[in-house]
């Protein structure tokens, strides 16, 4: 592994576009936190929200359609508003190497407009990473459903989608946290998701990492998960790595088997070679030898004795990432019916072959029996009783609906 000290400023042009209210808030937080090396854009249907934005470039979406009053929590309105301003969006993004689209999903503008912006980035050939938050459960099922639909739309357009489930922030903020602080925590996580990637490209560090390295991991990577670990003291490296791979935002999903991993180790200049080895070895151990692991180290003297490890795992199985809650319901569905099905169907009288005595005395029914057996065997040689097994599964949707309710 080659190490070099990075003196020169990166020529990579990176832009962050915050879409909708949550996206605009996240951009303000990044600006306040002095995120280095990126240009900020905000796009919103709400003219009042744009007025308080600290971004250097502001785009009012759908001024004719919404009159600057917002999208009314309707993603279709958000989409139509963005389509009204495609030329302006394209002009703002066209010279970029990489674009981060950040938004809160579930409402109107972010959910509806972000996929339109992603489509423009795709047309321009820009590496595009969407970092979007899912709504809190108390915001209602409709917003949750709209968020999932929006994420599904993004998955087919962007290179990488990082989802931040807001409900998981409770594990970071603790009980009794004020609501306003919880939303600030959501903005902070969106900020760290972007910072963990941009710092690798833009900031000085010991490990030479460039835009091409990041592009290798994140281009056409699909859904991604992020974990952050912070620790101090003698064992800070291994502890920070452990916290990163068991982070609440990982939604109980292991990063083992990830196709690609982007890892950023951030600390002061007193980091030792042993610490870098410990942290990286722990991540390697978790994801396995087949993953493409891109890692770097950046300096931040403000951390003092603390070390921060940011891990972004890409290319994990689609089902595991996009629907962990549905998967947990489906697991017993797959396991439990499988056991009784075989003996139950095999004991079914109508499915056994007729005896010679029955054939002699039951001539009218015999052809029916032969046709059913032959057709079942031809359609699925592994299971002659396929049609009866399918009829039993008709009860499962009702069961699942009751579980979900």
Q: Which residues contact 223 (CB under 8 A, 6 or more apart)?
A: 155, 160, 161, 163, 314, 316, 318, 321, 322
Closest CA to 308 of 279, 277, 272: 279
Minimal CA–CA distance to 131: which of 189, 68, 82? 189
Q: Is 278 annotated to bind ligand?
A: no
25 is in an annotated binding site: yes
Is the separation of the CB atoms in 77 and 112 below 8 Å? Answer: yes
User: According to the annotation, is 108 in a ligand binding site?
Assistant: yes
Q: Is 109 annotated as a binding residue?
A: yes
SS3 263: strand
166 is in an annotated binding site: no
78 is an annotated ligand-binding site residue: no
Q: β-strand 307-314 against 160-165: which pairing, if any?
A: unpaired
| DSSP H stretches of helix in 94-205 | 109-124, 141-155, 170-173, 179-202
Q: How far apart are CA 353 and CA 371, in angstroms?
A: 11
Instruction: Tell me whether residue 23 is annotated as binding.
Output: yes
Q: Where are the beta strands (DSSP E) in 211-349?
A: 222-231, 260-267, 292-299, 307-314
CA 84 – CA 4 distance, rounded (Å): 47
Angstrom distances, CA of residue 9 to CA of 5, 12, 36, 64, 262: 12, 9, 11, 42, 21
Tokens 């603790």 label which residue? 174
3-state secondary structure of 127: strand
**Tokens describing residue 12:** 């990579």
Q: Is 371 annotated as a binding residue?
A: no
Q: Which helix (H) or strand (E) holds 90?
A: helix 86-93
Q: Please indicate if the annotation marks 296 as binding a ligand.
A: no
Say whether 24 counts as a known binding-site residue.
Answer: yes
In the three-class reduction of DSSP (H, G, I as helix; E, B as strand; rest coil), residue 58 is classed as strand
Q: How many C-beta atoms surround the C-beta of residue 74 within 10 A?
A: 18
- The response to whether 112 counts as a known ligand-binding position is no
Binding residues for GTP are 21-25, 108-110, 139, 143, 187
Annotated binding site: 21-25, 108-110, 139, 143, 187
């Amino acid at each position: 592994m080659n190490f070099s000290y990075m003196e020169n400023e990166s020529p990579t042009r990176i832009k962050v576009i915050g879409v909708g209210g949550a996206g605009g808030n996240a951009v303000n937080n990044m600006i306040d936190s002095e995120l280095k090396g990126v240009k900020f854009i905000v796009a919103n249907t709400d003219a009042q929200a744009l007025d308080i934005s600290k971004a250097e470039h502001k785009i009012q979406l759908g001024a004719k359609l919404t009159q600057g009053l917002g999208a009314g929590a309707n993603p279709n309105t958000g989409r139509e508003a963005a389509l009204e301003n495609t030329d302006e969006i394209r002009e703002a993004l066209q010279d970029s190497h990489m674009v981060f689209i950040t938004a809160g999903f579930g409402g109107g503008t972010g959910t509806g407009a972000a996929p339109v912006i992603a489509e423009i980035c795709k047309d321009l050939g820009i590496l595009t990473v969407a970092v979007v938050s899912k709504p809190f459960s108390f915001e209602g099922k409709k917003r949750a459903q709209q968020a999932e639909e929006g994420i599904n739309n993004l998955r087919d357009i962007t290179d990488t989608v990082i989802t931040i489930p807001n409900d998981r922030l409770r594990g970071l903020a603790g009980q009794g946290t004020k609501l306003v602080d919880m939303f600030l925590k959501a903005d902070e996580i969106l900020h760290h998701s972007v910072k963990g990637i941009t710092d690798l490209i833009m900031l000085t560090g010991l490990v030479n990492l460039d835009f091409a390295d990041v592009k290798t991991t994140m281009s056409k990577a699909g859904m991604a998960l992020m974990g952050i670990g912070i620790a101090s003291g003698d064992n800070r490296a291994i502890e920070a790595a452990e916290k990163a791979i068991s982070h609440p935002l990982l939604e109980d999903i292991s990063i083992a088997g990830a196709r690609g991993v982007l890892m950023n180790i951030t600390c002061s200049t007193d980091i030792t070679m042993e610490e870098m080895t410990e942290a990286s070895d722990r991540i390697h151990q978790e994801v396995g030898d087949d993953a493409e692991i891109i890692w770097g180290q950046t300096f931040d003297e403000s951390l003092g004795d603390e070390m921060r490890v940011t891990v972004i795992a890409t290319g994990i199985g689609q089902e595991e990432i996009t629907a962990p809650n549905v998967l947990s319901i489906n697991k017993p569905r797959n396991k439990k019916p499988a056991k009784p099905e075989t003996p139950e169907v095999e004991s079914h009288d109508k499915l056994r072959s007729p005896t010679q005595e029955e054939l002699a005395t039951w001539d009218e029914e015999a052809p029916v029996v032969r046709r059913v057996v032959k057709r079942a065997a031809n359609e699925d040689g592994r299971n002659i009783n396929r049609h009866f097994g399918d009829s039993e599964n008709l009860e499962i949707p009702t069961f699942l609906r009751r579980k979900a309710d």
